[in-house]
Amino acid sequence: MWHALNLSYDATDKVYQRRVAEENRERVRALIDRRIKERIPAVYLTGETWFAGLPFKVDSRVLIPRSPLAELIERRFEPWIDSSQVRSILDIGTGSGCIAIACAKAFSKARVDATDISKDALAVAQINVRRHRMNRRVQLVKSDHFSALHGRTYDIIVSNPPYVGAREMKSLPPEYRHEPAMALAAGREGLDSVRAIVGEAQRHLRPRGILVVEVGNTEVAVKKAFRDLPFTWLEFERGGGGVFLLTAEQLESK
């Protein structure tokens, strides 16, 4: 409704007293109609969403930002790392660029590499990088996980990769069909991308660096697949879960 009426999200309570013209009412009804009949996610209809307190352009070329990682970024990944020492961050599977840009905002002295295998996703991320004036500090890289990074190392590697298994993909609500399948599907068990990240991350982490990955409902499968890894499973005040953390030293010892 706010989008259809072109209202500011920080408008005062007085806005509720305004009379809405029939033309504008119809604009609201049309959006709600599409949301119901076509099962299109609301933010695809408006073209905008928010992540870590920041606005982002989104469309069906990218996954809708909904990660609990926002809360962790707002806390500057503390107490898991000394935030004052962070100078380089990698976001794998950046999509809209929301995680990378939020990290750049949170760490004013850090440079951020944001990778994605999808050219379409990187095009949307570029719009958001320009919008937030982060061209100098956020570099977008077309890469299949670490393939194009050529030995670069980071203090923080963070990722919300594809992690939906084949069975779960078939049972997802219709809304998810509007999102790019390659940003969701990750093989039979949902582990294809996670295996690639865990397998290579240690070579790209600096001493005392951390790896943070969201795996959602695949948490149980991850625990079974990597029984020897001492995962720390993070908790969030605002809800959400399925996010693990490993240090460079923990990865090196395995």
Dihedral in degrees, nearest 10, Cα atoms 49, 182, 155, 103: -10
Position 254 confidence tier, pLDDT thresholds 50, 70, 90: low
134-183: pLDDT as tens digits? 999 999 999 999 999 998 999 999 999 999 999 999 999 999 999 999 99
Average pLDDT of the residues of the chain = 95
User: 63-252: what fold?
Assistant: Rossmann fold (3.40.50)
159 contacts 145 by C-beta, under 8 angstroms: no
Rounded mean pLDDT, 107-115: 97
d(CA 73, CA 54): 12
Dihedral in degrees, nearest 10, Cα atoms 75, 81, 86, 90: -80
240 contacts 67 by C-beta, under 8 angstroms: yes
Q: Strand, coil or helix: what is 239?
A: coil
Q: What are the residue boundaries of the structural domains of the chain, listed by start?
A: 63-252
pLDDT(12) > 90: no
Residue 252: how many CB atoms within 10 A of its CB? 11
Strand partners, 156: 89, 210
Task: Dig out the tokens for 183 from the structure.
Answer: 């940003």
Rounded mean pLDDT, 224-237: 95
**What single-letter DSSP state applies at residue 245?**
E
Residue 223: phi and psi, rounded to 5, are -60, -40
pLDDT(201) > 90: yes
With CA atoms as reference, report the closest residue to 152 among 98, 113, 122, 103: 113
